[in-house]
Structure 1
Amino acid sequence: MPGLQNWRAISLTVTVLLTANFAASAQDVLIRDAKVFDVTSGDVRTLDVLAEDGRFTKIEESIEAAPEGVKVIDADGKALLPGLIDVHTHWTGMNGATRASIAVDLLEAGVTTATDFHSSPEAFEDMRAYHAGIVSPHVFYAARMSVPYGHGTAWTDERVTKTVFSAREADAAVEDILAFKPDAIKVFADGWRYGSGANLSSINLDAFSAIVGVAHEAGLPVFSHTVTVEGGKQAARAGVDGIVHALQDRTADEELVELMTENGVYYSPTLTVYEPFEDEMAEMGPAKAAIVMRRQQFSRANMSAFLDAGVKVAMGTDQGIDNNPFGEADLREMELMVDFGLTPSEALTAATLHSAELLGLSDDRGSIEVGKRADFILVAGEPWKDISELRSLDRVFLDGREVVADAKLSVDQGAVMPDARPAGRMIDDFENDALTSTGACRGYDVDRNHPRSRLVRNTVERIEGGMALHVSADLTLKEDPFAFVVLPLSPAGFLPVDAARFDGVRLDVRGQGPIKMKIGGGPSEAESAFETTKNWKTVELPFEGFAGEPEAGPVDLAALHWLSIGRHDEPGTDFWFELDNVEFYKSAE
């Protein structure tokens, strides 16, 4: 991993700063009589383990006297292992989940470090601050990159997934992303998603290599969404650090195996997201079910080939996607890795040391060694013999602090959502080419799945003076196409704002027919419609005039995240409008 030493130093400094609030209440702890699993060798020894100031300070056969103030726990022969590390997690709102609830689910499964493959880089700073105030695994933030019409682009905009085609575009895009201090780059390289067929664009080698080159120069590891053998070859040639899906379109050939071993590419097959279930197979019908089972056969064969060649396996789940449940996915992934050919000891090493190596964190965590971060778990069993005994997890320690006892969170969790900050009056006057008046990147929201409607937005000069936003949209040929420009009320809309003291939203607007404004807070959104003509006019939209879906509940004006402006219309049509001075207003003022 070229350049990762410099990156590790930066990452560790940031991690220490972000966990300062949590670590301040940490309790130094001495664990007596634990069966300590050495992930570097597979050996098991009964030892005493002392953690002070969040780090392992002594690991000995017997520590006679506990230092003053140290909490002493008799493990009574329980297994002591490093905390699990998941290198492929999507922190989504799946089934009503929040970042706080996901954190609990992961910790209760023994996961002490997890990636975030689902967030906008402009929100990383606010997310890091939020996680420092709750009980959470360490979060490792990856910025997403793809190609036009590629995987990862079918539901979001370039605030979340940057798209590039050429090497020059790739260089510039990664440089832009670096301003948000990501921990890694994830590239959606294959136009295949889960091996069912090639239906999206794939990246070319020039652009792929450029992404890896700039990222490695900055000290960032690069992960590849790749599910095909040819895609795996291209990822290895480009120099990625890890492939984070199973390769499953055909049997791996000698060339792929050699490329992966020669370039030190880690393999994280996310087996849980592909696991076939009887009820799902029945719903698919025999033809599609046969494709799924053939894909599984290739996946098994390829895992065997990689293991025989010495390719290092890391643990990732793709949890948060396709109802792949948080926390449970990690325990199931471990079982499936053993089912696919790893020994239980090898699976434990994959989920700890190898995952830490892939993230560039093995100097800091991933094994039970003096000087390393005291992220560890106690298990009532011997999972190096039977991997399912990981399910008998008893306690979890994060930076030396016990956070799970009797398999349940044992400390108070922080806020479900970040605290709302007072909303300012001005939302966007469009005097800045790129950012709203709230400091957020403007975005767009269009219909899901390719082909998608297209929305173009540019700031333009008004005859009256100052700048406005010109928006034009071409609606695609599908049922209910739509296009909206999005004005987040904080970077990526992560931090809510309290607009309850205002009566509504006011804006200057001109355009072509009916337009809607939507506002969103929590799980709910509401909308209000108005007419536009080619002449400028000022429109006031009182909050009481916004309506949403009754089952979703009312929008919380004290916790708004975004507003958007646009419309649904007939397939194949187009429209335009221009905006200025979008602001909250009070009727009495």
Structure 2
Amino acid sequence: MTRILKMAAAILTSLTLTTASLAQSTQIQAGEEGITRLQRVGIAPPAPAPDRQNGEGPFDRLVIRGAIMIDGTGSPPVGPVDIVVEGNRITRIATVGAPDLPIDPRVRPAPGDYEIDATGMYILPGFIDAHTHIGSPGQAAAGAPLDPQYVFNLWLAHGVTTVREVGSLWGLGWTMEHRDRAARGEITAPRIYAYAYFDGSISTPEQARSWVRDVARRGADGIKFRGAAPDVAQAAMEEAAARGLETAYHHDQRTVVRNNVLDSARWGLTSMEHWYGLPEAMFDGQVIQDYSLDYNYMNEQDRFGEAGRLWRQAAPRGSDEWNLLIEELVGLDFTLVPTMTIYEANRDVMRAREAEWHDIYTHPDLWAFLQPDPRMHGSYFFDWTTQHEIDWRENYRIWMSFLDDYKNAGGRIAVGSDSGFIYNLYGFGYIRELELLQEAGFHPLEVIQAATFNGAELLGAEDEIGTIEVGKRADFVIVAENPLRNLRVLYGTGHPRFNWETEENERVGGVVYTIRDGIIWDARELLAEVREMVEAARENED
């Protein structure tokens, strides 16, 4: 189908189903197995990911030799170390010498069935992306559903070994099927935590509790909220906590005046997504955001343009309101998942639109979805002005200061990317989020801690993943350059650097290997497959 026909179909579909309801409509209600409103309007989930064709292992005994280890706890690097993995578990971590000196082979662990020479490389725990979507129906409306393998490859190629799929936009059953296949090592994919999307049609606390019991029975790992009456949301969160389900909430502007972050945290919410609801919890002298009088939430340039002035409406840094909010949220063991990367285009849309990886790795159907179009969620740069970007730069300055203060007070911040929207590409957006945390004031070791251990704690999986420790699952990122010195060496496109010896410009970095549950993937091979997918899709367009 040509691009024109695809876009015509998208317009017709969008007249029937808004993006907000697209997300909700993928959820299968109690007793409605396998039937979604999406299918009724002609948008079906993508084909399942194919069986695993690449990746080696797990092995009876894998030995990774000579690496410099950043263990994810916040401790400084240690190395060289040899790490022994048996099956999918770490069984030994041996310090085998001092930097830049020959290693005595007598102190090294015995040979393995398979070995990786990581001499001089850095090894980190597998990264956890705490806010993801494996594609979305909106993208399908712009072209075709993205192949999940395209998304999985980009994540793994950037060291992401675990994702929290908040909302399961293609349906809870579809997501759990991929979760289970990934856990069995049958597909090339990160570990997946499948969150159901709390349907806005639920109108009573009794319905909410019943719905939560149903998704718990079906095997969901958690629940994503986005707008509900306060008594309904509270009932659902209390029921989720009673059944051991984690919860995430995007406090959007339609409901935040009745239910801000502090309200939800008191009800037992596990984590907040993005940042909406934080400024509102610190309003001083007002109750409602200072909306312009012709504001319309469904005009996304209105929504995001005016959101760029929201942090300035909150009580200032260091005020009683600011400090008391941090103190109470920390006391509630509450997690922030800021996803700064997803909004960064708002402060510099040209930078986001012209990022060097788009030409090589962004699928044409995804690129079509990202272009300004009032029918597509996140595609709202209809007339984005200098003032919009100035507002958002100030917004980031205040937002980042809150994140830094929260972290310094002992609060947990995890790393999420929300990629696939607003010029933010899977994998690449995750690494950009790491850079933004450093900009916010985090030491690079704190950034890595947020990306690994904090994410594991958020998932309740800190005994299994998130750090490099004996007994934990064998999830690793191996990179040839020092990511603490420069996080940009984690990008799949690498980092441009002048070589003073050769007097040539060169590219350095990029993840070398990503290991999940003892399965080893060559990150460069995964990226090569993505390039082939993109090139084939462009040829089909022609």
* Fold in common (TM above 0.5): yes
Look up the SS of the partner of 1:301 in the other structure: helix
Partner in structure 2 of residue 271 of structure 1: 340
Q: Does 1:211 align with 2:211?
A: no
Whether 1:29 aligns to 2:29 is no
SS at match of 2:513: strand
Name the CA distance, whole Å, in 1 between partners of 2:229 and 2:408.
Answer: 29
Conserved 8 A contact 1:236-1:259: no
Does residue 1:141 correspond to 2:222, yes or no? no
CA-atom RMSD in angstroms: 3.1
What is the 5 A alignment of 1:357-396?
357-391=457-491, 392=509, 393-396=511-514
- Give the equivalent residue in structure 1 for 2:222: 184
Overall identity of the aligned pairs, in %:
27
- Cα offset, 1:222, TM superposition: 0.7
Q: TM-score, normalised by structure 2?
A: 0.62
Q: Give the distance between the partners of 1:226 and 1:297, measured in 2 at CA.
A: 21
C-alpha offsets along residues 373-414 of structure 1, whole Å, 9 cap, x if unaligned? Answer: 101011122223332233322211121221125x3339999x
Q: 2:210 aligns with which of 172, 176, 181?
A: 172
1:304 aligned onto 2:404: yes
Cα shift at 1:72:
2.1
CA contact (8 A) 1:49 1:56 kept: yes
What is aligned with 1:128? 179
Deviation at 1:291, TM superposition (A): 4.3
**Aligned partners of 2:54 and 2:164: how far apart in 1?**
19
The equivalent position to 2:431 in structure 1, one of 304, 320, 331, is 331
Q: Which residue number corresponds to residue 538 of structure 1?
A: none
Question: Secondary structure of 1:219's partner?
Answer: coil
Q: How does 1:388-407 map to 2 (within 5 A)?
A: 388-391=488-491, 392=509, 393-405=511-523, 407=524
Q: Residue 340 of structure 1: CA displacement?
A: 1.4
Correspondence for 1:481: none
Aligned counterparts, 1:231-270, within 5 A: 231-247=260-276, 249-250=310-311, 251=314, 253-270=322-339
Per the alignment, residue 584 of structure 1 pairs with: none
Distance (whole Å) between structure 1 residues aligned to residue 527 and residue 395 of structure 2: 41
- Structure-to-structure mapping, 1:559-574, within 5 angstroms: none
Residue 245 of structure 2 is aligned to residue 220 of structure 1: yes
Counterpart of 1:568 in structure 2 is none
Paired AA for residue 56 in structure 1? I
Mapped pair 1:113 → 2:162:
yes
Does the aligned pair in 1 maintain the 2:52–2:186 contact within 8 Å?
A: no
Distance in 2 (CA, whole Å) between partners of 1:21 and 1:129 is: 17
Partner amino acid, structure 2, of 1:116 = E
- Which one of 118, 124, 127 corresponds to residue 81 of structure 1? 124
The answer to whether the 8 Å contact 2:153/2:188 transfers is: yes
The answer on whether the counterparts of 2:121 and 2:478 sit within 8 Å (CA) in structure 1 is yes
Match of 2:446 in 1: 346
- After TM superposition, the score normalised by the length of structure 1 is 0.58
Deviations 1:147-168 (A, max 9, x none): 3xxxxxxxxxxxxxxx323322
Alpha-carbon contact 1:171-1:210 (below 8 Å) kept: yes
Query: 2:179 touches 2:191 (CA, 8 Å); kept in 1?
Result: no
Bigger RCO (CA 8 Å, 6+ sep): 2
Equivalent position amino acid for 1:53 in 2? G
Distance between the aligned counterparts of 2:151 and 2:433, measured in 1?
Answer: 17
Distance 1:24 1:188 in 2: 40
Query: Structure 1 residues 271 and 128, CA, compared in 2 at 3 Å: closer, same or farther?
Result: same
CA distance in 2, matches of 1:386, 1:133: 34
- CA pair 35-264 structure 1, distance change in 2 beyond 3 A: same
SS of aligned partner of 1:402: strand
Distance in 1, matches of 2:64 and 2:475, equals: 13
The within-5 A match list for 1:40-79 is 40-46=73-79, 47-62=81-96, 64=107, 66-67=109-110, 69-79=112-122
How far does residue 294 in structure 1 lie from its aligned partner after superposition?
4.2
Deviation at 1:44, TM superposition (A): 1.4
| Aligned-pair CA distance for 1:288 | 3.9
Write the deviation string for residues 166-202 of structure 1: whole angstroms up to 9, x where unpaired. 322211111122232111111114xxxxxxxxxxxxx
Q: Is the 8 A contact 1:232 1:256 kept in 2?
A: no
- Structure 2 alignment gaps of length 5 or more: 1-50, 97-105, 280-309, 316-321, 354-380, 492-508
Higher helix proportion (structure 1 or 2): 2
CA contact (8 A) 2:152 2:190 kept: yes
Change (3 A) 1:125 1:242: closer
Quick one: structure 1 residues 220 and 24, their matched pair in 2 at CA, closer, same or farther if it must change by over 3 Å? farther
Alpha-carbon distance in 1 for matches of 2:148, 2:382 = 34
Matched residues in 2 for 1:25 and 1:129: separation?
18
Inter-CA distance 218–284: structure 2 relative to 1 (3 Å threshold): same
Gaps of 5+ in 1: 1-18, 148-162, 190-202, 417-522, 524-550, 554-589
The Cα shift of 1:295 comes to: 3.0
The CA deviation at 1:333 is: 0.7
Q: CA deviation at 1:241?
A: 1.2
User: Compared with structure 1, are the counterparts of its residues 58 and 412 closer, same or farther at alpha carbon in structure 2 (3 Å cutoff)?
Assistant: farther
SS for the counterpart of 2:85 is strand
Shift of the 292–323 alpha-carbon distance from structure 1 to 2, 3 Å rule, reads: same
One-letter code of the match for 1:61? T
Quick check: 1:23–1:399 contact (8 Å CA) kept in 2? no
The verdict on how the C-alpha distance between 1:282 and 1:294 changes in structure 2, with shifts beyond 3 A counting, is farther
How far apart are residue 83 of structure 1 and its match? 0.8
Q: Which has the higher strand share?
A: 1
